Amino acid sequence: MPAVEELKKVSETVWELPTSYKTGMRVPARLYATEKLIRDMDEGVIDQITNVAHLPGIVKAAMCMPDGHWGYGAPIGGVAAFDPEAGGIVSPGMVGYDINCGMRLVTTTLTYDEVKPHLRQLVDLLFQRVPAGVGSSGFIDLSPKEFRDVVERGAKWCLKQGMAWPEDLERTEEGGCIDGADSEKISKKAIERGMDQVGTLGSGNHYLEIQVAKPEHVHDAAVAARFGITIPDQVVVMYHCGSRGFGHQVATDSLQVFLKAMPKYGIDVPDRELACAPFRSPEGQDYYAAMKCAINMSFANRQVILHRIREVFSAVFNRDPRDLGMEQVYDVAHNTAKLEEHTVDGKPRRLLVHRKGSTRAFGPGMEGLPKDFTDIGQPVIVGGSMETGSYLLVGIPSGSETFYSTAHGSGRTMSRAKAKRLYHGRELQQQLEARGIYVRSVSYSGLAEEAGGAYKDIDEVVEATERAGLSKRVARFVPIGNVKG
């Protein structure tokens, strides 16, 4: 990591590297973080975000959020917008392999005291009903034709199958189904990898967590109440997962196409992992349609998981999920590229905004918000580690600085290999249980990879996010039960 002195300090939470930093940069690179977070970032973040600044048609700056860390091609936490009318590109490496990896938050009317006696039973049953781990398969048996229907219709498919409430779709980004998905643009191998994974959690940093909103952790009671956080020590459920092997295969297929296509369009990138094509090109449009299929698969995946969660709580408490107040607060997407209208230099422009490990955070009054939240802004869900806590934030007007994008989590500070050397899964599980956090995991090595010490301090990340004007804190949740892949 270059010395902080090499970065131009724009403000207490904004740092910039000019186009002169690296030959070929078309725009500056901007990092949104406190000085402490900047000093703790790995060197790969700077190298990757300045590489992103080389891409054709990029607008304003290549940006990295406070949780930024090294990723494939572009840093996780990266944001970049491209103008399709000025040669702007689309890049799978700037979207990510786990397309539409995202977060969903669900309320209950239960309190911690009511849940505590049933916690082990809840977590054990969730572990049984929501398959987790590498290669895990779900309970839904789909034919290739049926899976094509899923990836074109997303959560709308779940509604038809009786696995969604209409209001779930209203509280999901894009209404749970992004238009323009075309299953003819996805490979047979992608279908084979994805068709048995709907309703599964996956591995890595994907999790399903039972959490508590303590009164002292509610930062804005009025907004929290609008989002359904109204009871002291209220129990909520949060989970994090994406498009599984299907999204990975869509990205893999498209990267190979783009590597071959770049010479045709005269595009040269500093890192082949940022392979791209003009958005308006046939290759660009094919990827865009395929990526939308992965977005919809992920929405369907998270919707089926919500259906399972409601079943589990209903079985344990012998009450209807509606009686338990199991309302969806919101479902936010990471790892996407979307056409959005933003104002740049005082003029509206239609831009393709790539967010990789970054959350959309629309402010009040913006098109695309659920009607219930039009006047207050979009809910933003920021996940922490299983040892610390997570946050609910809200989009604010000043978020326009980053095309209304914000942090998505705490962000890693060490590799998974290093975490496994430093932590032991069985011991970690015992330590967590001693602290009142009951965890079930597919493997102890997978648990060790996700130790709290492998991540940045979630409170520091969220504080930097708020100080930078990207989004505002609403409530913090502490974990009490966790299912890990």
288 neighbors 296 (Cβ within 8 angstroms): no
* CB-CB neighbours of 348 under 10 Å: 9
> With 90 as the cut, is the pLDDT of residue 415 above it?
no
Cα 257 from Cα 189, distance rounded (Å): 15
pLDDT digits (tens, 9 = 90+) for 153-194: 999 999 999 999 999 999 999 999 999 999 999 999 999 999
Structural domains in the chain, CATH included, are 4-85+339-358 (no CATH), 102-338+366-484 (3.90.1860.10)
327: closest CA among 168, 434, 466?
168
Handedness of CA 204, 210, 215, 216 (dihedral sign): negative
Q: What does pLDDT average to over the chain?
A: 95
SS3 397: helix
468 contacts: CB under 8 Å, gap ≥ 6: 11, 13, 14, 32, 33, 66, 401
Catalytic residues, by residue number, are 408
Percent of the chain at pLDDT > 90 equals 86
**Which band of pLDDT confidence, cut at 50, 70 and 90, is reported for residue 485?**
confident
Percent of the chain at pLDDT > 70 equals 99
H helices present in 10-162, as ranges: 35-40, 43-52, 92-95, 112-115, 119-129, 144-153, 155-160
The pLDDT, as a whole number, for residue 3 is: 52
Q: Whole-prediction pTM value?
A: 0.96
The end-to-end CA distance of the chain, in Å, is 32
